[in-house]
Every structure is written in structure tokens, then in C-alpha cells.
Structure 1
């Protein structure tokens, strides 16, 4: 498989994790430890996809390169927060609180990356859908803010739904990338597997 296809597959699998992870009832079904693991695995897959995207974008111009690098930085912020949530869930067998909340710095990186990609290709539907996903993740980060005075989250339902909606946008783009890379490889006479 070539880089674009691997990139798309990593983003698709990571997106699937973030799509189902905050879905109502998921943590009740699998338990908080498995739910925390879902987010952590998703963040690692996003990071792998981001690294491949940075590699692919290296020769595609400044906008593509900066968008990929900033998005990759955002995935690293998600790695930290998902690892922290996983560590907490694994160290406390009675853990029954929120498994993960969106990372503000990672979400900001995603928004900046999405804007750069959109400005570089405003007519491409993938740039629009990707930016929409970044906006949903940004809303999720704001809704997931923990109010210091009370220790409660602003709006847990909004944080969860916006995380899932953002992940759905990213999943659509990732599947399109996998399909397009397969079509290009076949047109060039290369096997897709």
C-alpha cells in the first residue's frame, strides 16, 4: 500500500474511534476503561495519519505542508489528554466519570489546519467537510470546558455530540482519500493491495 492509502486508513480508523467513543451508552456498554482505550487508540491512529499526511504534503506546497504539520501537532495534544484519561481509568477500578474531554490546544490546531486547507482549496468538498469537522471539534472543546468553581463540564452532551459529528466528517474525508488513492493507483497500473 502507498502512503496516501495508509494515511486514509489511519484517519478512518481513528475517526471511527472518536465517532463511537462519546456516543451515548458506549461507555456503559464496554466500561470506562475500554472507552478510554478507544479514545487513546483513536488519537494514536490520528497521529499516524497526521505523520503520513505531513510526509505526503511535504512536496505539495506551503499550504498543504503547514496544514498537515499543524494538524499533526494537534494530534499530539490529543495523545496527551487521551493517555491521561486512560491512565486514570486504568489506575482506578471504580472509575466512572467522564472518560475523555476534548483538548483545547488540539482543537485549536485542528481549526487552524482546517482553515489553511480550506483557503488553499475552497472548492474541494473534502476541504469543506474537513473544516466542518474541525469546527465541531472546536465546539466540543468549548462545551467540554471544566468550570473551575464547580468542577463540572459546561455541556457534556454538546461535547459528546460535537466530537462524534466532527469524527463523522473526518471519517467521510478519510474514506474518500482511501477510495481516491485506490483509483489513482489502478489508473497508473499499480495493484492497490
Structure 2
């Protein structure tokens, strides 16, 4: 497989954008009322597939130097990618390798949510647990992504990578809040907090969507920065 670096980055951004948009859509109460619970659950499941595809593509991207260490010319040259790597000292790789299994847990939870007539205990085991595990891994991935920029608490409002990393962190925190609020109380078969569950997913997905959109201008700026040493 020999993609062009700029094309692979576009694919990652597009897949994350679609996945996030579907989670946003599925969280809108008006959409649920219009299409029904079954179609809404399918929307989440399809969105999770886009998340997983994007995460896998991003993992391949970050562990392939030919896909990231590019300038204005080399971003259009086809180059081989690495499907396997062990880069424990690379925080960007650690972020990607933590995020990928997190998306798989979301595949499991959203698929299990398609099932009907399950008890509260089954709901918590099949849906809530994978959702909680996925949210935890997203938090870990977001932390590594921020640490890859340098210090944990820095303020760089002119940096696209800084905005992307923190948007993903806020999105991960909101997803975790949603996961916790989605626990089904066995005594009443009610969620801990339905508004927090829905709102956390909606706002978290919006953060992920904004972060995905910023990947395109971030790429352009990084390519321009790579050209500067050549001109001096």
C-alpha cells in the first residue's frame, strides 16, 4: 500500500468527521423522535465503524515516517506505510495505539445496543462496560496526544495541534461523563442521568467533529513549516 501522505491525512480527517457527525446526529432528541430507537441505534453503530476506520488509518499514519515527515513536494509522492510498529517512546504513537482499541469497544457497545428486551444487568454488561472501557481509552489517548505537544498545561491558541488535542480531551471527558451517566440502575431500570448521557455524547461528539475539521488546516500549516528550512 503506497498512498500519498496528503490523501491519507484527508481520509483520516474525513472518516473522523463522518463518525463524529453521526454521533452528533444520533444524540439529537428530534432525530430520535423522527426515526425511532432502532434507526437511532444503527446511526450510532455506523458512526462507530467510521471512528474505528479513522483510528486505524491514523495509527498507520503516525507510525509511518513517510506519511508525516513531508514538505510541499513529498506530500504528493506515494510512499509505503507501516502496518506494524513498536514505538513506546513516541507519544503520538501511544495516543493512536490507545485510541484504536477504544473505538473497537464502541463498536461492541453500539452493536449491543441494537438488541432489544434485555435486562438492566445485561444492558450494563453488554453496552455500559464496553462504553466505559472505550471512554477510558479515549481519555488515555487524549492525554498522550497533549503530552506529545510538550508540557501538559500550556496555552497555544495559535496552534492547530494544540486545539485538536484539547478538543479531543474535552470530548473524551464528555464521553466519559456520558458513559457513567448511562449506567442502568437495577432497582428501577433507569439511567443514572439521561440528560447527562445524551448531552455528554452530543457535546463530546461535537468536540471530536471540530478537532477532525481542524486536521486539514493543521496539515497545511505543518507542510508550510517544513518548507521554511529549505528557503533559508
The TM-score, its normalising length taken from structure 1, stands at 0.83
Structure 1: distance between partners of 2:220 and 2:7: 9
Structure 2: distance between partners of 1:104 and 1:185: 37
Give unpaired runs (5+ residues) of structure 2: 1-5, 66-88, 119-126, 157-161, 227-232
The residue correspondences of 1:25-174 to structure 2 (distance < 5 A) are 25-59=30-64, 62-86=90-114, 88=115, 103-121=131-149, 122=152, 123=156, 124-174=162-212
Structure 1: distance between partners of 2:202 and 2:107: 18
Shift of 1:126: 1.3
Structure 2: distance between partners of 1:164 and 1:32: 16
Quote the RMSD (CA, aligned, Å): 2.5
3-state DSSP of counterpart to 2:187: coil
Q: Could you tell me whether the CA contact under 8 Å between 1:5 and 1:181 is conserved in 2? A: no
Give unpaired runs (5+ residues) of structure 1: 93-99, 189-193
1:118-175 Cα distance to aligned partner (Å, 9 max, x none): 1222541211111011111011111111123332210011110010111000000101
- Kindly tell me: are residues 186 and 32 of structure 1, through their superposed partners in 2, closer, same or farther at Cα, counting changes over 3 Å? farther
Structure 2: distance between partners of 1:21 and 1:179: 27
Q: What is the total number of aligned residue pairs between the two structures?
A: 179
